[in-house]
């Protein structure tokens, strides 16, 4: 798999980084615009609403007019947001790229946030059930492991959303929707020079200093004990852990990636075989590698029944401890290498997925073809490197644990059975 191996990069005078990837013959061009948009507790409600309202029209083009114009061009526009970035995506017929990128630039740069649209969005958000037990438990976990941080802040509530005005969104737009620090990617049949000319035409006069909306680093140390929380009646029990991790650009990350696949990152992993299949303790169990601009961490998660939280946490710890102590077998490492390539291919099966992933790499400071180099390093790893990664990152003593259980008293009566494998 070759991901944008021939991509060309340019930085405009206004700070916009442009990535141009030519794919001769492509009938559809993918455009991505990513902007730093890191969570700020004091801006939680305006940030949520800006993302929801960004594409709802300008002073001259209402939402219906934007949709109609996109349809005329054979284009689709969408916006998404995570804890640190705002991503505007467009897919368009390649023959209509000049007009489609102009429409995208117009809507993003000149978003008007009309009050009536804002009212409709707020009404819809407030009417939805906003309680998310897993998200609440995960915030508690990160707070325990890393202390207070924007990632651990409470989300906007109904009162917060209702208090936001259109002027609030316009002020946030002026701060956040700026070229400095943003990434524009164009994947299509046009040459790099031609695609760049189109980008310069619609974004070259865009102005605005860096927004500063980036996450601060996670604290290096924190509490690694267990915290038991009450869960709402009738909800599954959650067991969550967070421990030391790495960012994707770290040269040790490929070994950690394989260690994660072996422990709990695949359907045939150690955790799945023991916790779910052998003991029947969990409906779902997995490990993962998490990362934001604040840093990386390793995570383990199990979903079990009421009263099983403590036992499940103990079994997870026993399995992690054995893996950290003994490491994987050469056969497990070989299988994990094959899985790594298979998962990468499956996750980037479409050009739209490739465009979004590459844009994310560049926003993180990585090259657009970073995944090609990463998988090459994975292929060269030996068992010793993966063993070292397991020992450094999956020792349960270095993980904070949160158990959210409806029946915590019953849960505490259980203990791990040992002999984890």
d(C-alpha 404, C-alpha 47), whole Å: 29
* Domain covering 8-203 assigned CATH 3.30.830.10 in the classification: yes
Q: Which of 136, 143, 133, 175 is nearest to 42 (CA)?
A: 175
58 bridge partner residues: 111
3-state secondary structure of 49: helix
Query: pLDDT of the chain along its 421 residues, tens only?
Result: 567 768 999 999 999 999 999 999 999 999 999 999 999 999 999 999 999 999 999 988 999 999 999 999 999 999 999 999 999 999 999 999 999 999 999 999 999 999 999 999 999 999 886 678 999 999 999 999 999 999 999 999 999 999 999 999 999 999 999 999 999 999 999 999 999 999 999 999 999 999 999 999 998 667 888 999 999 888 899 999 999 999 999 999 999 999 999 999 999 999 999 999 999 999 999 999 999 999 999 999 999 999 999 999 999 999 999 999 999 999 999 999 999 999 998 888 899 999 999 999 999 999 999 998 999 999 999 999 999 999 999 999 999 999 999 876 554 444 344 444 4
Predicted local distance difference test score (pLDDT) of residue 59: 87
Predicted local distance difference test score (pLDDT) of residue 3: 72
Predicted local distance difference test score (pLDDT) of residue 409: 58
Predicted local distance difference test score (pLDDT) of residue 2: 65
Predicted local distance difference test score (pLDDT) of residue 410: 52
CA distances from 184 to 10, 16, 155, 314, 352 (A): 10, 7, 29, 47, 14
- Which residues fall within 8 angstroms of residue 288, CB to CB, at 6 or more apart? 260, 264, 265, 298, 299, 300, 301
CATH of domain 226-411: 3.30.830.10
Predicted local distance difference test score (pLDDT) of residue 132: 87
Predicted local distance difference test score (pLDDT) of residue 221: 67
The total of other beta-carbon atoms located within 10 Å of residue 336's CB is: 24
| Fold match flag (8-203 vs 226-411) | yes
User: Would the CA dihedral through 200, 206, 209, 213 be positive or negative?
Assistant: negative
Backbone angles phi, psi at 57, to 5 degrees: 115, 160
pTM of the predicted model over 0.75: yes
**For the chain, which residues make up each domain, given as ranges?**
8-203, 226-411
Predicted local distance difference test score (pLDDT) of residue 338: 96
Predicted local distance difference test score (pLDDT) of residue 297: 97
């Amino acid at each position: 798999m070759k991901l944008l191996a021939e991509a060309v990069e340019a930085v405009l005078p206004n700070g916009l980084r442009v990535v141009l990837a030519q794919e001769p013959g492509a009938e559809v061009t993918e455009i991505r615009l990513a902007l730093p948009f890191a969570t700020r507790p004091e801006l939680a409600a305006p940030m949520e609403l800006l993302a929801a309202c960004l594409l709802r029209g300008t002073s001259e083009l209402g939402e219906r007019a934007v949709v109609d114009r996109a349809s005329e061009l054979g284009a689709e526009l969408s916006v998404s947001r995570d804890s640190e970035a705002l991503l505007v995506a467009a897919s368009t017929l390649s023959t209509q790229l000049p007009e489609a990128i102009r429409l995208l630039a117009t809507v993003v740069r000149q978003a008007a946030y009309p009050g009536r649209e804002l009212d409709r969005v707020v009404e819809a958000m407030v009417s939805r059930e906003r309680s998310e037990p897993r998200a609440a438990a995960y915030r508690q976990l990160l707070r325990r492991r890393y202390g207070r941080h924007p990632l651990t802040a409470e989300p906007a509530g109904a009162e917060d959303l209702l208090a936001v005005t259109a002027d609030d969104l316009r002020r946030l737009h002026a701060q956040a929707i700026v070229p400095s620090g943003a990434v524009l990617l164009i994947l299509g049949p046009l040459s790099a020079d031609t695609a760049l000319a189109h980008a310069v035409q619609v974004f070259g006069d865009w102005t605005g200093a860096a927004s500063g909306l980036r996450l601060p680093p996670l604290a290096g140390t924190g509490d690694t004990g267990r915290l038991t929380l009450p869960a709402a009646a009738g909800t599954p029990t959650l067991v969550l852990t967070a421990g030391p991790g790495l960012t994707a650009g770290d040269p040790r990350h490929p070994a950690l990636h394989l260690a994660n696949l072996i422990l709990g990152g695949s359907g045939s992993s150690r955790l799945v075989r023991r916790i779910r299949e052998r003991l029947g303790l969990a409906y779902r169990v997995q490990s993962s590698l998490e990362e934001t601009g604040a840093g990386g961490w390793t995570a383990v998660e199990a979903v079990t029944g009421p009263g099983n939280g403590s036992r499940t946490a103990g079994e997870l710890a026993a399995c992690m401890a054995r893996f950290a102590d003994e490491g994987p077998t050469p056969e497990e490492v070989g299988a994990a290498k094959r899985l790594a390539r298979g998962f990468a291919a499956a996750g980037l099966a479409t050009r739209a997925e490739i465009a979004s992933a590459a844009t994310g790499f560049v926003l993180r400071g990585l090259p657009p073809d970073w995944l090609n180099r990463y998988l090459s390093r994975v292929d060269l790893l030996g068992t010793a490197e993966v063993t070292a990664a397991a020992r450094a990152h999956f020792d349960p003593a270095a993980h904070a644990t949160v158990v959210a259980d409806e029946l915590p008293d019953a849960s505490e009566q259980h203990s791990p059975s040992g002999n984890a494998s």
